[in-house]
Amino acid sequence: MNSIPAGSRVFFWGTNSQVVYGTVVSVSIQSDVQGTQVLQIKDDSGHTHSLPAGGVTKVT
């Protein structure tokens, strides 16, 4: 089950301690024991990020 499906608006903390907003482009599941979900996110500046779903918050 995808906790944050493609198309969702999300945010995460960037390396400069600023909030980064974006949209989930795709979700993949890693082959590790936990089945980690990795999100491909396109931020509002057009940059793409790959982050584990646990480090991302869905905008409500």
Give the pLDDT confidence of 9-20 residue by residue, as tens digits.
999 999 999 999
The structural domains of the chain, with segments of one domain joined by +, span 9-58
Asked if pLDDT for residue 1 goes beyond 60, the answer is no
> Residues in the chain, how many?
60
Tell me the helices (H) and strands (E) count for the chain, helix number first.
Answer: 0, 5
Find the helix or strand (DSSP H, E) in which 57 lies.
strand 57-58
Give the pLDDT confidence of 6-58 residue by residue, as tens digits.
999 999 999 999 999 999 999 999 888 888 999 999 999 999 999 999 999 99
In the predicted model, what is the mean pLDDT of the chain?
A: 93
